[in-house]
Structure 1
Amino acid sequence: MGPNGNGAGPRFHNVITTEAELRAVIGEASDLVWNKVIAQVDDHCRQFIAKSPFLLIASSDSSGILDVSPKGDPAGFVKVLDDHTLVIPDRLGNRRVDTFRNVLQNPNVGLIFLVPGRRDTLRISGKARIVRDASLLATMAIKGRAPDLALVLHVERALFHCAKSVIRSSLWDPAGWPDATGVSSPAESLLAHARPEGSVADMQKLIDDDIRERLY
């Protein structure tokens, strides 16, 4: 932790440390922006969730160490049980269960839903629990296999986020996508970071086998 806090270190100057300082630079948000936050999942949110095949979920442990994990399935994979309850199935993964381990310590999580082609995103936050309700899990089976666990979220806040970040990034516009040539493959980065025995080819086979055999 640097002398300016937040790990900034001595090489940064004019570090913002109060909201008053922040507002002096950014200004005040409009009433419209503040008032768009609601405390439940309404029909507009339901429609967006029903078309979303991908979300990001943020969580932290009791010490504040953060994690953001992706979740993806066919569009509408997140079930809306009622105005305050979402259910996210847990498919086969790497068994790190980072989100689940965090939720056991700190139930507060945040979600961002994306819909391909849509420029806006949906942000939802609340408190999560891990459940093994067999009747609920059976409703989320794919290819005859139900998830072993699900994350149930009690919704406390929901808001739609404006389109600017998606527009600036050309997220859905192939003409704006960067050339990824030269970026390490998943096998190369796994070999460099985990340092297992074996070659890049061995790691690639491990990845390919896992995707083929453990997608559902």
Structure 2
Amino acid sequence: MRRHVTTLEDLRAVVGHPTPPAANKVKDRLSDAQRDWLAHSPLGFVATTDADGRLDVSPKGDPPGFVHVLDDTTIAIPERPGNKRVDGFVNVLQRPRVGTVFLIPGRGDTLRINGTARIMADADYFDAMAVGGKRPILALEIDVDEVFFHCAKAFLRSDAWKPETWDPTAVPSVAKLAKAIKPDLSDQQLDEYYAEENMRKILY
């Protein structure tokens, strides 16, 4: 039997109401603890929408502390060379509202920051975001509207940080998956291109 949730009343009847600490934890500026989290996070995800409401979520990663904190209400995320699709950046030009999640490997809790973004082609802090002498090609600068820590339940349920649960060979390799979009390349060429050693050469 299928039963849709179509109203806020329906939703609350199922999940209930948040406790006061959960309801009131959202702030509009970074705390010292949240700044410290960003200083140790090597990985985040940025969610955007286009003018028609279509969504994109893009991972962003660099050495820990890759997110540059300009002040308590502004952060910047560096952009590195990629496949040039820049779906998220195209979306920001249409709708600047973004949602982000930042992780620290081994930790189940995460930091969520929502706000209004703009695309920077250069700024005085680009040098501070250089890796191996390579400055970012762009930066996504975000004015913080909402910031809060999110609990660890999803990571506890999934056991995501337990290596004994990992099985990266359960699905085809990235080279095999890429065959569908690069049929002109041989299996050997794809394996060589997507090998970690080669990919690391073109990260920056």
1:90 to 79, 100, 118: 79
Partner of 1:7: none
Cα distance in 1 for partners of 2:3, 2:170 equals 37
Partner of 1:6: none
Partner of 1:135: 124
Deviation of residue 31 (structure 1)?
1.2
Deviation of residue 198 (structure 1)?
2.2
> What letter corresponds to residue 206 of structure 1 in structure 2?
Y
Cα distance in 2 for partners of 1:182, 1:21 equals 39
Deviation of residue 42 (structure 1)?
1.3
The superposition leaves residues 52-80 of structure 1 with CA deviations (integer Å, 9 ceiling, x where unpaired) of 00001111111011011101101001011
Cα distance in 2 for partners of 1:195, 1:91 equals 23
- What is the TM-score with the length of structure 2 in the denominator? 0.93
Deviation of residue 30 (structure 1)?
1.2
Partner of 1:63: 52
Unaligned runs of 5+ in 2: none
- What is the TM-score with the length of structure 1 in the denominator? 0.88
Deviation of residue 135 (structure 1)?
2.6
Partner of 1:123: 112
> What letter corresponds to residue 191 of structure 2 in structure 1?
Q
1:145 aligns with 2:134: yes
Cα distance in 2 for partners of 1:150, 1:133 equals 8
Partner of 1:167: 156
Cα distance in 1 for partners of 2:45, 2:143 equals 17
Matched length: 203
Partner of 2:101: 112
| Partner SS state of residue 211, structure 1 | helix
Partner of 1:204: 191
Partner of 2:90: 101
> What letter corresponds to residue 146 of structure 2 in structure 1?
R
Unaligned runs of 5+ in 1: 1-11
1:191 aligns with 2:179: yes
Cα distance in 2 for partners of 1:47, 1:109 equals 21
Partner of 1:3: none
